[in-house]
Amino acid sequence: MRYAIHVDMDAFFAAIEQRANPALRGKPVIVGGRPGSRSAVATASYEARRFGVHSGMSTSEAQRLCPQGIFLPGNSSHYLHTSVKLYKLLREFSPRVEPASIDEAYVDAEVHGNVEDFGRRIMQRIESELGLTASLGISDSKYLAKVCSPFSKPRGLTVLLRSDVPLQLWPRPVQCLYGVGEKTREQLARMGCTSVGDLARMKLPDLQGRLGRPGVALWHYARGEDCWSIITPGESPNAKSIGHEHTLHEDMFEQSRVEAVLCDLCERVSRRARRAHMAGRRLVLKLRDPNFYTTSHGRTLPRLIDSAEDLFAAARVLLQETRFWRRGVRLLGVSLQKLSDTQHTRQLCLEFDRASRQSSAVVDRINRKYGDHAIGLARSLEAKPRRRGGPVFPSFQPPSNLEGV
């Protein structure tokens, strides 16, 4: 089974200082400059945290809380060096590692056998090779892996699968969700919502009305639904958009012809998106008139889309809204943006319409076997190249038997 594993080092800067100087081990180490120098605490060892010292507080306050604290200025090149070693070590467990911060990374791992054992092996390697401890969050969702990694810090390992959310996550305070800061926590508390379960059970329109789009995202997170995906540095930076544009042979004025070209473009974009295992939440339409005046018009959609039908439905609405095409169209373009990786988040993107996904899968299989334009939406026929006197799709002979397609 495939898992997202969030690795977060414990008291990273302070632990590196303790590793370098054994006399500091077991002592309250505070990294972040001298007290009274207006500096802030970068981090504190767990021994210092017992006194209430935490990242971000002034070092003067830290000294007041923990007079016996050992204050150190820090050494960023040491920390960076260790960070690089950590990523390298993690890549021995899976080639798909996404560094998330100086001491955090996500590992996308296919695990055969017990995933806790797999996680413990990662922790042991970190301890033996780096001389440091880490805490791990393991899930079938990247978001949940991030949320649960601090649950049993330091040196903790927590497994929180999406199916565990009602039992394990809902009783916890809402601020354990990534994305709920102090301000949001207060807003939610005013709505009587203090636990993750309270949030998950809220009526979505109420939450949207009070918190807007961030509220909608949090509501989904509280229910174990997200579309986060692990992106490794070597991967194309998840192409910010997938688009196609076409300069027409002649300027077009008729709506039906413009729509046919639009439909053809949507098919192309949809095909590329599905091949890259991407779906998008925003569609942008680009139009150029015969005088080279160019405009684009986009819309963020309520759900992720990747099928030609969905792209075309959204593009058609945009086209009708612009009315710009009435001046004549010289160039038409469609791009799908706000992309998410559907391969790693397939089950998470619950919004996908099952029927549309199944028909897209069949279209892809036929096109893979018989060529890219073998089958598509009827609406785009007019825009496809025709051979003089020949059938619309000269390269395509309908297969007598679709088995094995």
Q: Does residue 304 bind Mg ion (CB under 5 A)?
A: no
> According to CB under 5 A, which residues from 236 to 255 bind Mg ion?
none
Could you tell which of Mg ion, ligand TTP, none binds residue 314, using a CB distance below 5 to 8 A set by kind?
A: none
Q: Which amino acid is at 223?
A: R
Least distance to Mg ion, CB of residue 115, Å: 21
Structure tokens at 250: 């002649």
Q: How far is the CB of 79 from Mg ion (least distance, A)?
A: 11
Partner interacting with residue 102 (select from Mg ion, ligand TTP, none; CB below 5-8 Å by kind): ligand TTP
At position 245, the amino acid (one-letter code) is E
Shortest distance, position 137 Cβ to ligand TTP, whole Å: 11
Q: What is the binding site for ligand TTP (CB under 6 A)?
A: 8-13, 42-43, 55-56, 102-103, 153-154
For 167-236, give the DSSP string: IIITTSBGGGSTT--HHHHHHHHHTT--BHHHHHHS-HHHHHHHH-HHHHHHHHHHTT--------TTS-
Nearer to ligand TTP, 82 or 380 (CB): 82
Which residues on adjacent β-strands are paired with residue 284? 298, 335
Query: Which residue lies nearer to ligand TTP by CB, 153 or 172?
Result: 153
| Shortest Å, Cβ 100 to Mg ion | 10
Q: How far, in Å, CA of 184 to CA of 219, rounded?
A: 13
Q: Which residue, 132 or 263, is less far from ligand TTP as judged by CB? A: 132
DSSP H or E run through 287:
strand 278-288
Residues 6+ away with beta carbon under 8 Å from 379: 259, 260, 263, 312
User: Rounded distance, CA 375 to CA 54, Å?
Assistant: 61
Q: One of 104, 259, 267, 309 is an active-site residue; which one?
A: 104
- What's the closest the beta carbon of residue 23 comes to ligand TTP, in angstroms? 20
Q: Which two tokens stand for residue 275?
A: 């091949």
Active site residue 104: yes
Question: Of 344, 348, 349, 347, which Cα lies nearest the Cα of 305?
Answer: 349
- Round to whole Å and give the CA distance between 356 and 365: 14
In the complex with ligand TTP, the residue whose CB is nearer, 8 or 140, is 8
Nearer to Mg ion, 16 or 273 (CB): 16
- Options 4, 5, 7, 8; binder of Mg ion; rule CB under 5 A: 8
31 is an interface residue for Mg ion by CB under 5 A: no
Interface stretch with Mg ion, choices 72-80, 101-109, 304-312, 393-401 (CB under 5 A): 101-109
Kindly state the smallest distance separating residue 257's Cβ from ligand TTP, in Å. 57
Residue 13 interface partner, choices Mg ion, ligand TTP, none, CB cut-off 5-8 Å depending on type: ligand TTP
> Is residue 44 at the binding interface for Mg ion, with CB under 5 A as the rule?
no
Strand order in the sheet with 104-110: 97-101, 104-110, 2-9, 134-139, 157-159
Nearer residue to ligand TTP within complex by CB, 146 or 330 = 146
Of 35, 57, 47, 45, give the one whose Cα is nearest residue 13.
Answer: 45
Residue 131 neighbours by CB under 8 Å, 6+ apart: 19
Q: Any contact of residue 86 with Mg ion (CB under 5 A)?
A: no
DSSP string, 153-181: -SS-EEE--GGGIIIIITTSBGGGSTT--
Applying CB under 5 A, does 9 fall inside the site for Mg ion? Answer: yes
Q: Which of Mg ion, ligand TTP, none lies near 266, with the C-beta cut-off 5 to 8 A by kind?
A: none
Chain contacts with Mg ion (rule: CB under 5 A): 8-9, 12, 103
- The residues carrying an active-site annotation are 104
